[in-house]
């Protein structure tokens, strides 16, 4: 189920026209060494299990990290908008039997990294999944 979430999220980001207009196919979980920005990294983590009376649920965080150099904050904010439009309140369609019930944005942040070159944008979503 956990790898499924990541696979589906990466595939959906790649399929989105707005997101791919900025990063092309550079949507990764593990970014290959020496990849030039702009690119998008998706991570799934902080998952906890919640037991209901009859069902089991998982709650976790999907984190989108976007880096760019040449276009600055404008491109970072555009990307955050595109990711928000594509993913916020639109649950993932999982393929291995689990159901993503909720997908809600929990926050975003943008900043210029310590090297003074890379503009970094982060947007996080909270997911509730029925196992």
Q: Kindly tell me the burial class for residue 114, based on how many C-beta atoms sit within 10 Å of its own C-beta (0-12, 13-18, 19 or more).
A: exposed
Site string for another protein, 111-130 (x = CB under 8 A): x-xxx--x-x-x--------
* Residue number, 45 or 95, with CB nearest to another protein: 45
CA-closest candidate to residue 105, choices 58, 76, 74, 62: 62
Conformational region of residue 60, where left means phi above 0, alpha means psi within -120 to 50, and beta covers everything else: beta
Pairing of strands 119-130, 99-112: antiparallel
Least CB distance to another protein at residue 37 (A) = 7
Residues 61-100: x/- map of binding to another protein (CB under 8 A)?
A: ----x-x---------------------------------
In this structure, what are the phi and psi dihedrals at residue 11, rounded to the nearest 5 degrees? -65, -40
- The tokens describing 126, both together, are 């909270």
In angstroms, give the least distance from the CB of 112 to another protein.
Answer: 9
Instruction: State which of positions 4-63 bind another protein (CB under 8 A).
Output: 37
Q: Which residues are near another protein by CB under 8 A?
A: 37, 65, 67, 109, 111, 113-115, 118, 120, 122
């Amino acid at each position: 189920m956990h790898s499924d979430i990541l696979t589906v999220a990466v595939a959906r980001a790649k399929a989105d026209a707005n997101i791919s207009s900025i990063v092309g196919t550079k949507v990764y979980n593990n970014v290959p060494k020496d990849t030039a920005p702009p690119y998008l990294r998706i991570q799934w983590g902080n998952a906890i299990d919640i037991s209901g009376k009859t069902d089991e649920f998982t709650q976790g965080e999907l984190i989108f990290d976007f880096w760019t150099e040449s276009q600055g904050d404008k491109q970072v904010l555009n990307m955050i908008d595109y990711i928000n439009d594509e993913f916020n309140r639109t649950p993932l369609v999982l393929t291995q039997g689990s159901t993503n019930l909720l997908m809600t944005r929990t926050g975003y942040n943008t900043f210029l990294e310590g090297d003074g070159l890379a503009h970094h944008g982060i947007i996080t979503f909270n997911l509730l999944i029925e196992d």
